[in-house]
Structures are given as C-alpha cells and as structure tokens.
Structure 1
C-alpha cells in the first residue's frame, strides 16, 4: 500500500481506528488496547505483512490504574472521580481478539495467517464492504438467517449444503429461540425446493404455513425388533423377553397387519411353557399396550417414505405419544430415511428417496441421551456417520447440551449456540465440539433472545448474529398467564 493510499485509507469514514495491538500476539490471537469499550462479537480489521485480517472480539475488559481494587473507602473513589481534569483518561479498554483469517478476493474463503500481528499494528472497525464479502456470499446455496449482532446492516448467510453434509446442532436454554431458528431454516430449505422432516415432540411447528402434517403411524410389519420392544416398553437388558419377541417376529406368518396383535399374542402364549415369566411379561405388555398402540400401528399404512412431500416442510406430530413410543417412531423414520437415500444413490435415483433431505430432532437430550441407550440414538449414530455420503443431514436441537450423547455431539460439524447459562453446559459444548471460539463460551450468558453464535462449516467464519423472527410460528412461545386468567374471569 502506497503512502498516498494509506492516508486515504486512514481518513476514510468507513475505517475507524479502534486501537493498537499490544504485548505478545499469536497468528490466531492478539491483545489490543482500545480508545473505546469493545463489544463482544464485534468484528475488527487489521493489515500487516500483506495480510488483510478479520478478527472477532472474544473478551472485553474496562479497567483503571487510578481507581484500583486497593481502594478501601468509596469516598476515595468519589474524590478521584471529581478531581479528574478535563480530557484526562480515567479508564483503559483492553480486549482479546480471535484472528479469524485473511480475507481473499473471493471473500468467503479465509485462512489463518502464518505470522502474528506485530505490536503497534493499527486495529480498525471492520468495514461494511469487507463484512458483506465474507458473511453475505451471493451464491444459491447460501441463505439469509439474520444480521450481524454488532453490524445490523450486514446480512448473515449460511451454507445449506453444509447442513446436509456436516449436520447441525442448535443449543440453548429454553425460550432463547431454538425453535424459531429451526422454523427459519425449514422455510429457507423449502424456498430452495428442498425437503425437511421435523420430529415435533411438543407440537411447536403446527402453526407454520404450508406444512405437510404427518401422523406418527407405522406399519407393524415393517418394525425392527428394537422398535417393537421400545413400543412395548421392554428394556434393553431384558434379554429373554426380547428373545421371545424376536422368535415370534421371525417365525410368525402374519398374513396381514390386521392379524398382527392376535398373531403375536398366540405366538407368545405358546412360548410361556419354555420361557416362563419372561414370555408372560411380553404377553402382558401386548395386552396392556394394544389399545394405545393400535393408534400408532395401523395396517396398510405403507412405508413412511411414501408420506414425505418432496420440496416441503414435513412435520411428524409426536405430541400425543409417550416418550418410548415417540422414540420408536423417530428411530424407524431415521432408519428408513437413511436406507432410502442409500438406495437412491446406489440406483442413480431409480429407487428410494430421490433427493437429499434434512431431518430435525427436537428435545434431542431426551432421544439422544448421554447416559442411556435409546432406539433413536442407535439410528441417529448411523445418520451422523453415514448421512454425509448419501445426502441426509441431521439437525439436533436441545436445551440441555450436557445431556446429549457426546459421540453424536462431537460429529456435528455446525453449531448455532444461543444463550447458555449453566457452566456445565458451556464446558460440555466446548469439550466435545472443539469450537474455534472457546473463549466466547464465557460470554454466552450475555446473549439475548434470538441472538446466536454460529460456528462450523456452514459459515465462512464464526458469526455473532441476530436471528430473523418467523412471525407465523406462535407455538412454543411463553404463555401470557395473566392475560389468560383475566380473559377467563371475564367469560365467567
């Protein structure tokens, strides 16, 4: 850069000098002394050794060498504040910044420079033009989900292809905007002509427009042993009960689904002499759950794959199911989705499900727990390992990250982390997801509703964003109890 251009650069309205690099720095991290307070999530810009570098404020500190912690009387502070001369600096502002990468001509491909910024390097507020080149790529596979938290004029776009190939975790405490982000992603996928299947455990997505609502009914003849055992509430460690169930599934000629329960009961009854109490417990489960399961297991329902509307938001409504039954339903769907995508890839689209798709598991800490084995966890483990090759992406949504299976969590290549207060949740995410922004974990309690840190391959660099609101999604929002009480009293 010539001297003339450097002068023009520094005098430009767009380039505000924020401060200078001080102390020791590394290629990926530096400390700066600033003229003003730094906001967590703010983007900064530096130029050194031929690099044009973007950085992210990970830690912001305001202190004073005059008003120190050694003071023991608040009146001393009062006298110091009142005696400060006009123009004298009472505070200093420091910050630790994460160096995100050097901006190339294409904007959305950044690489960490091999050389750290030298002390004295000028640090600027990141120009809007640079931020737009990074966060708002003009490519079809990038879709808008919000704006930068500290630069609301800059749109944040995410790469939908990376959700399909690398999966996504949406993590936050309850009420912070997880389901709103799911609804937004679903709408963006639909706009691209894509297909998404949401397993809705609390009926939160039924208010979305243009959805295909699917009842959670399964063909009993297409169930696996584990899925049927889960529906009958037979534990995994009940090996003899499961043996009885397996023998009857393998040996019975059902003829049709209408004969399923009667045929199963006859078969199990015939094994009581051999298996004793174990077979009797299976028979008792069939009798106890038959009435309810007939609402879930129905003859001639066909393959669940046939009920998916291509190019639409498909919502499988699990709100009326017990946990074990919902677990079996989700597991069955995930297994069939993966099998159908494999068949399509291997047959060049002649069989199976013809297009890539995304599956969303709400309340994932319940269905993918760290301390228990579920049918869904078994199926989801296959999806996160193999789905990338066959065009099946998995979105895991949870308000309790520390309750999630660590193996599945560690294989999520993308994250949207909204407000998390519990230290154990913060530490759990940092440990298993290895985000490049671990320092930011300490700042997560400071996020407001709808604000998120986006990490992973679906964004060019980590982004602190304000997520767009899906106004049509009203389910799942906080209930106005006072208004409801008043309305009820008026009606009375």
Structure 2
C-alpha cells in the first residue's frame, strides 16, 4: 500500500468519532483475533481497527464474561454471597473477552471488502464500528440495492441487498415455521415491484393473494390442456413414471386427437383410450379410469382455449399463482409447466432483444420448496427448477427457494443458490444439511441460528458485501400467514 493511500486512510479515521472497546491479545490471524474488552461484547456486534495502514471491519463471533474473584474454585454459594456483599461499588471484578472475525479491509468503494494479508498485532486498539462506515458497507446508494431491514445490533443502519445478484445467482430463504420467511418474501416482492421489477410467487398456502398492494396480480392456476405435454398430463393423472404401458397409451392418444377444435380435450382423450383397451388391456383401462376419476377435478384448472400461462403475467407486478385449492401432485405439474414456459419465454426475450417472449428479467419464488423439489424423490418441478438453477443467470430469471425443512431440499439445487437468508433453525439435521450444501455458511454463523428471534436473519452470499445479521422489516400489507389467535376466535363464536 502506498504512503499516500495510508495517509488518506489515517486522515479519514481521525474524522471518525471512535469509541474504544478493547485491545487485541495473544496470537491473531488475518481472519480471526482475540480481544480483551472494557465492557461485555455483543454477539454480532461490528468493530473497527486500524493497523499497518489497513482500515478493518470485524464482527464479534464469541463473547465471554468471567471473574478472577468469583471463579470455579468456589464451591460454596455462601462464600460467593460474602464476596458479592463485600465488593466495593465500582470495583472491577469481571473481565470481558471474545473472538472477533475479521470481515475485511475497507477500500475506497466502501461496500467492497477484502481480507488483509497481515493479522492485527497484539495491543492493537479495537473500536466500536462507526455508523458512517457501517452505512457505507450495508447501505450502498446504488440503483441495484433495495432495503430489507436494519442491522440487528445497529438499528439506525439500513441493510440493503443487491437484487441483481438474486436474478443472477438465485436465493434460498430457510427457517423454521413461523420465523418470518413469508414476511421476507412479501418484502422482497414489494421492493421489487416498486422499482418496476417482475416477480412470480407460486403460493401453495394462499398467503400472498391478499397482499395489500396496487401491484398485485393474482392468477388462477388454469392451464390449457392442449398446451401440456405427455409428462405433464401423466403427472396430473397420477400415472407413475415407471408405468410404461400406461404412458404409451396416453402418448398415442395425445398424438392422435390433436388440437383440431372438432372435439373437446377430455371427450377426445376418453374415446381414444377406449379404442386402445383391446391393444393394451388393463393398462389402457387404468388410464381411462384415472381420467374419469379426475376429470371433474381437473376441469377446475384445465380450460381449453385459455392460452399461454406467460400471457397472464403483468410486468412490473407481484404475480401470485394461487395454488391453495390444488392437490400437491397437480400443483407440481402446474409449477413445472410454468417454470418451463418462463424459461422459454425469457430465452425468446433475450434472443429477440425484447420484441417477443418475456422482455424483461423476472424472479420466481417457490414456496414450500421441500415439497416440490425434494431430495428423496423425483418431481416435475425439480427437473424444471434444476434447468433454471443452471441456465437462469444467462437469461435473467432468478430462482428463490423457500423452505421450513432444508434437509428435505434437493442438494443439487440447494448448492446452486448463491445467496441465502437464514432465519432461526434449531434442528441439528437442518443445520448440518445447510452447512454441507450451502457454500457461504460457516460454523460460527451456524452457532448463531438457534439464538435468532422472529424476523431476524443471517444474510450470506453475493447479494451482501459480508455476512450480515439483520432485523427484517415487517410488511404491514401482508394480512395472512401469521399465527391464528384461536382464543379470540373461540370467544367471538359463543
């Protein structure tokens, strides 16, 4: 580093109002050090140091309060009682130690950090990180950043995320139920729509259809049966992938009836299948029985002539595909069809320079993702989501995976999520699974997960400059998805 640059850094630091917290002690490394402090250290608290010309941001990763007077050698509580009563007011009997994680050296860009090559020497002064520095890192004034909350330990500092990185690197929102996942989804949807972005939410529980927003577009899950392929029709009829002869019957009849307009889809399919009973026997009969059994139900969301699903999208809006009245297998087929058409629409949009297909980038949200992209079984959605996870960045389609059961998610897709928002997770298997397949997370961050409260999240990946513990903004416009007040309902009923 040049002397001129060092001098500018020192001059800048002198203008800061620095509060001394403590000193570096013992052996340190470029990415970790020990500190002895004047006061208790808060987990997740941001600290600031200057050494060898570097201006460095760090975060408290462990905190200890101890006493040389009241120590482990005392075995009788009466001895402790006498000590406490005889200690003079203001007498120091505690010490405060901790481990800090060095997040990086602050350069001229402010929001970009890099680990310094030299560790802090023992005796280095450690300060509370000034809000001006924190704001430059966590609140960049750039168009691609949107606000989603505040720093947990510094509520006056906004946290903004790079939404471009969500489109190009995808996002996982993981937590126990009731910890604020859907609130974060609603917040992201609101912020994206406010800047003219397009988001599509596959809403399995009907949580977002009542979102109070002038940008809301609720879409009924209706598909044109003539636009579905063999795999999609088989999925809707619950025909297993290994039922080869049943699928042969279905394939022949779909090819045979065609979309001529002379016969309805269901009538034409039933007549054709009946003619195949002599050739395929019980296999054809099973397909016919399934079609008759499901026909009434399928007609609720299969409608001839309804057109392409991507024509239902309103650009610049929160598009909610309401799946709340659909069974899981049918919902799987519907989501898969949408994903295939969205990816194809974006490809055409890119290749045609926006004159055809979907002209602008989009973000797709899959709620209850462990149901639709499971680790232990095949699904239509998993295959389609895998394509988006691989190809989406090239065509401007971002995938957001939301789950309360991370260990149930397909590991291939999970490992391709370049950004994470992890709210409270207590189950050890979920923690271990996230650590195994999510590259950005480390053990010290995993240790933080059980201690998070509702609405608090650890943000990781390329959409933030450094790992960030955030208090997520509450979306007042979201009127469903919260815990039910059963007692109030009971009282009003009688």
Q: What TM-score, normalized to structure 2?
A: 0.94
Aligned partners of 1:392 and 1:448: how far apart in 2?
32
Aligned to 1:296, the other structure's residue is in SS state coil
CA contact (8 A) 1:331 1:375 kept: yes
Cα distance in structure 1, aligned partners of 2:464 and 2:254: 47
Q: Between 77-86 and 418-427, report the one with greater CA deviation.
A: 77-86
Q: How far has the Cα of 1:253 moved from its partner?
A: 2.2
Q: Return the offset for 1:269.
A: 2.2
Structure 1 range deviating more: 333-342 or 81-90: 81-90
1:198-255 alpha-carbon deviations (Å, 9 max, x no partner): 1111111122122111000001111122221111112223233223222322333242
Partner residue in 1 for 2:61: 58
The residue aligned with 1:282 is 287
SS in 2 for 1:464: strand
What is the CA distance between 1:441 and its match in structure 2? 1.1
Deviations 1:111-133 (A, max 9, x none): 11111212221111100000011
Change (3 A) 1:106 1:270: same
Distance 1:15 1:312 in 2: 45
Contact 1:14 1:128 in 2 (8 A): no
Correspondence for 1:485: 490
Cα distance in structure 1, aligned partners of 2:366 and 2:263: 31
In structure 2, the residue matched to 1:182 is 185
Q: Which moved more, 1:56-65 or 1:35-44?
A: 56-65
Residue 321 (structure 1) shift = 0.4
* Matched position secondary structure for 1:123: strand
Q: Is the 8 A contact 1:60 1:93 kept in 2?
A: yes
Find the counterpart in structure 2 of residue 124 from structure 1: 127
Change (3 A) 1:348 1:6: closer
The change in CA–CA distance for 1:408 and 1:277 in structure 2 (over 3 A counts) is same
**What whole-Å deviation, never above 9, does each CA across 1:76-107 have from its counterpart, x for those lacking one?**
33233334344443332222222111111110
- In 2, distance between residues paired with 1:192 and 1:322? 34
After superposition, the C-alpha distances for 1:384-419 in whole angstroms (9 at most, x for unaligned) are 110000000011111111111111111101111111
Deviations 1:40-87 (A, max 9, x none): 221111111111111112222223344334543322332333343444
SS across alignment from 1:292: helix
Residue deviations 1:314-342, cap 9 Å, x none? Answer: 11000000001111111110110000001
**Alignment partner for residue 328 of structure 1, among 321, 326, 333?**
333
Deviations 1:154-197 (A, max 9, x none): 11111111111111111111111111111111111111111111
Distance in 2, Cα, partners of 1:232 & 1:401 = 29
1:377 is aligned to 2:382: yes
Query: Measured at CA, do residues 69 and 258 of structure 1 come closer, stay the same or move farther in structure 2, by a change above 3 Å?
Result: farther
Report the Cα distance in structure 1 between the residues aligned to 2:472 and 2:262, rounded to whole angstroms.
Answer: 46
Task: Identify the residue that residue 165 of structure 2 maps to in structure 1.
Answer: 162
Distance 1:225 1:24, change over 3 A: farther
**What is the CA–CA distance in structure 2 between the aligned matches of 1:261 and 1:480, rounded to whole Å?**
44
8 A contact 1:198–1:316 mirrored in 2: yes
Query: Cα offset for 1:450?
Result: 0.9
Shift of 1:273: 2.7
Aligned to 2:114: 111
Q: Normalization by structure 1: what TM-score? A: 0.94
Which position in structure 1 is the counterpart of 2:466? Answer: 461
Q: Aligned-pair RMSD on alpha carbons? A: 2.1
C-alpha displacement at 1:460, in angstroms? Answer: 1.2
Residues 53 and 277 (structure 1 numbering): CA distance in 2 closer, same or farther, change over 3 Å? same
CA contact (8 A) 1:221 1:257 kept: no
Q: Secondary structure at the match of 1:430?
A: helix
3-state SS of 2:271 partner: helix
- The aligned length equals 487
Preserved contact between residue 435 and residue 441 of structure 2 (Cα < 8 Å): no
Q: Partner residue of 1:340?
A: 345
Distance 1:13 1:45 in 2: 11
CA distance in structure 2 between the aligned counterparts of 1:82 and 1:236, rounded to whole angstroms? 76
How many Å apart are 1:299 and its aligned residue? 0.5
Instruction: Answer yes or no: is the 8 Å Cα contact 1:196–1:357 preserved in 2.
Output: yes
Q: 1:201 to 1:95 in 2, by over 3 A?
A: same
Q: Does 1:25 align with 2:2?
A: no
1:111 to 1:81, Cα distance in 2 relative to 1, 3 A? same
Structure 1 unaligned spans of 5+: none
Q: CA deviation at 1:439?
A: 0.8
Aligned equivalent of 1:90: 93
Residues 232 and 285 of structure 1 are in contact (CA less than 8 Å); yes or no, is this contact kept in structure 2?
yes
8 Å Cα contact 1:362-1:398 kept in structure 2: yes
What secondary structure does 1:169 align onto?
Answer: strand
1:448 CA displacement: 1.1
Contact 2:459 / 2:467 at 8 angstroms: preserved in 1? yes
Instruction: Measure the CA separation in 2 of the matches of 1:226 and 1:30.
Output: 56
Answer whether contact 1:257 1:300 (CA < 8 A) is retained. Answer: no
Cα separation, partners in 2 of 1:110 and 1:402, compared to 1, 3 Å: same
Q: CA deviation at 1:16?
A: 1.1
* More divergent stretch after superposition (13-22 vs 393-402): 13-22
Range moving further from structure 2, 51-60 or 410-419: 51-60
SS in structure 2 at match of 1:236: coil
In 1, the alpha carbon distance for the partners of 2:95 and 2:427 equals: 30
Equivalence for 2:207:
204
For the pair 1:16 / 2:19, whether they are aligned, the reply is: yes
